[in-house]
A and B are shown apart, each in its own frame.
Chain A
Amino acid sequence: MTIASKSTWADRINGFVRKVPTWPLYILYLLPVPWLLYLAQTGGLGREPIKALEHELGEIALQLLIFGLCITPLRRYLGINLLKFRRMFGLLAFTYVTLHLLVWLVLDVGILSQIWADILKRPYITIGMVSFILLVPLALTSNSWSVRKLGPSWRRLHQLAYVAAILGAVHYVMLSKVWAVEPLAYLAVVLGLLALRLPKRRQKQTA
């Protein structure tokens, strides 16, 4: 009974998702960029808009990585198929990570020698940079041509997203002066979503 009602409920969502085009969602999800820049210029981000902008962009990036990680568990456990949005979430996450990095490079630090010193000497910045670098090949291969060309190794390559998400969340946890709730919650969600993948995969291997 419950299974039947669940499947019709999931089917209805899947039917709706099939009709939704992805391109307006790209535009919708990029709207926060001009909005945040406007707020930063007009005092809406507080008295220190640079750090605020940097943090907002970083947080959105982490959220988008998490949305990407939700796709597989949603399909596996609830039968909801949002696969068509996964590339979009990945590319948007990469866009926001890049903007986050640019704000840090140009507006926040802006001094080349200090940027290098920070990347090499500050573990949370090193971790953040590694996370960004891991996402570069993923963004470059997030197109149908690469999927065809790389075949099975495309899947393996894109499992780097797991590592990038963990590092991104750790980066957030480490920059806090105390054990703050929000960054720890992000890390817990990332680890939880990855944990959801583990048992099924082991079953597959033994089967």
Chain B
Amino acid sequence: GVALAGAGTAARAEEALEPNAWEDITQYNNFYEFGTGKSDPATYASALTTEPWSVTIDGLVDRPGDYDFKDIMAEMTVEERIYRFRCVEAWSMVIPWNGFELADLLAMAGVQAQAKYVRFETLYRPEEMRGQSSRFIDWPYVEGLRLDEALHPLTIMATGIYGRTIPNQNGAPIRLVVPWKYGFKSIKSIVKITLTDEEPVNTWQALQPSEYGFYANVNPNVDHPRWSQATERKIGGGLFSPRIPTLMFNGYEEEVASLYEGMDLTRFY
């Protein structure tokens, strides 16, 4: 109930939220498993096999195990969520996701009381993911959330875009979407979810801790060391597309600011 009301208010407040074209969303991607160029994922991700697919849920849960993707989908109620998507590189999109709340998936496995964090892992399959043959990243890609962030009603697992099956380059068959955090937090093609009592070290934090933190909340007041985060450019506007101001928590301040009350966001970036 709370979840739907929250999403409803956000949706109503934002009549101006115009979703990007399918081509923007599916042809301009960061998915280093398929290469570092923006068009590499669209070019090479078709090599990925997404059937069969299962997600291992383990750690501090009552019912650990390998959950078949089809079994998960049979249990979940898929809905549409139109969210802003803000990349740490200062570009953005608006994406009409189809998915379900992560909280519902975690409830399937039964989160134990000692659990404080959720750790996610992307598939490691270099024979299908050509970018994984480069060693600049310690594969597999890892992300993490605090448990309250993971259980927040805005946090979803996406399995579709525009009512269609999510394309491989966007993280098929199942990916995380945390709309108030920079895009790299929204880990793709997930094969493993671990409930833990320790803060996971996410891939980008391990690679460059001064530039990418654990929280990675969208924040126009905390610059990336190499560029300003005060503005962003929405993809799809062509050669004369202007920068627009970046919103605190990517515009979801009302919904999520309370999660970080009393925290110094310049330290916990």
Q: Which residues of A contact B (CB under 8 A)?
A: 40-41, 46-51, 53, 107, 109-111, 114, 117-118, 121-124, 174-180
Cβ–Cβ < 8 Å partners of B230 in chain A? 114
In the bound assembly, the distance between CA atoms of A41 and B137 in angstroms comes to 35
In the bound assembly, the distance between CA atoms of A117 and B227 in angstroms comes to 9
Cβ–Cβ < 8 Å partners of A175 in chain B? 226
Q: Does B239 belong to the interface (CB within 8 Å)?
A: yes
In the bound assembly, the distance between CA atoms of A107 and B240 in angstroms comes to 6
Cβ–Cβ < 8 Å partners of A179 in chain B? 136
Q: B92 to nearest A CB, angstroms?
A: 11
A124 nearest CB neighbor, chain B only: B226
* 8 A–B contacts, CB within 8 A, in A order: A46-B39, A47-B38, A48-B235, A53-B239, A107-B240, A111-B243, A176-B36, A179-B136
**Which of A46, A49, A122 has the most C-beta atoms of chain B within 10 angstroms of its own C-beta?**
A46
Q: Does B236 belong to the interface (CB within 8 Å)?
A: yes
Contact status B28-A46, CB under 8 Å? yes
Known: A114-B231, A124-B226. A40 touches B28 (CB 8 A): no
Apart from A114-B230, A121-B223, list 8 A-B contacts with CB within 8 A: A41-B238, A46-B27, A46-B38, A50-B239, A114-B243, A122-B226, A177-B208, A178-B137
In the bound assembly, the distance between CA atoms of A133 and B225 in angstroms comes to 23
Cβ–Cβ < 8 Å partners of A40 in chain B? 238-239
Interface size class of B (residues with CB under 8 A): 20 to 34
Cβ–Cβ < 8 Å partners of A41 in chain B? 238-239
Q: B207 to nearest A CB, angstroms?
A: 7
Q: Does B9 belong to the interface (CB within 8 Å)?
A: no
Known: A111-B231, A114-B228, A114-B231. A50 touches B36 (CB 8 A): no
In the bound assembly, the distance between CA atoms of A111 and B32 in angstroms comes to 31
Contact status A109-B243, CB under 8 Å? yes
Q: Which residues of B contact A (CB under 8 A)?
A: 23-24, 27-28, 32, 36, 38-39, 89, 91, 136-137, 207-208, 223, 225-228, 230-231, 233, 235-236, 238-243
In the bound assembly, the distance between CA atoms of A36 and B245 in angstroms comes to 28
Cβ–Cβ < 8 Å partners of B137 in chain A? 178
Cβ–Cβ < 8 Å partners of B240 in chain A? 107
Cβ–Cβ < 8 Å partners of A111 in chain B? 231, 243
Contact status A47-B28, CB under 8 Å? yes
Contact status A118-B228, CB under 8 Å? yes
Known: A118-B228, A122-B226, A180-B36. A47 touches B243 (CB 8 A): no
Q: B233 to nearest A CB, angstroms?
A: 7
Contact status A49-B239, CB under 8 Å? yes
Q: A94 to nearest B CB, angstroms?
A: 23
In the bound assembly, the distance between CA atoms of A51 and B89 in angstroms comes to 11
B226 nearest CB neighbor, chain A only: A122
Q: B177 to nearest A CB, angstroms?
A: 20
In the bound assembly, the distance between CA atoms of A191 and B191 in angstroms comes to 44
Cβ–Cβ < 8 Å partners of B207 in chain A? 178
In the bound assembly, the distance between CA atoms of A159 and B23 in angstroms comes to 47
In the bound assembly, the distance between CA atoms of A7 and B232 in angstroms comes to 57
Known: A40-B239, A107-B239. A123 touches B226 (CB 8 A): yes
Contact status A50-B233, CB under 8 Å? yes
In the bound assembly, the distance between CA atoms of A114 and B227 in angstroms comes to 10
Contact status B235-A122, CB under 8 Å? no
Cβ–Cβ < 8 Å partners of B242 in chain A? 110
In the bound assembly, the distance between CA atoms of A178 and B33 in angstroms comes to 13
The 4 closest A-B pairs by CB, nearest first: A47-B28, A178-B136, A47-B24, A40-B239
In the bound assembly, the distance between CA atoms of A123 and B235 in angstroms comes to 26
B136 nearest CB neighbor, chain A only: A178
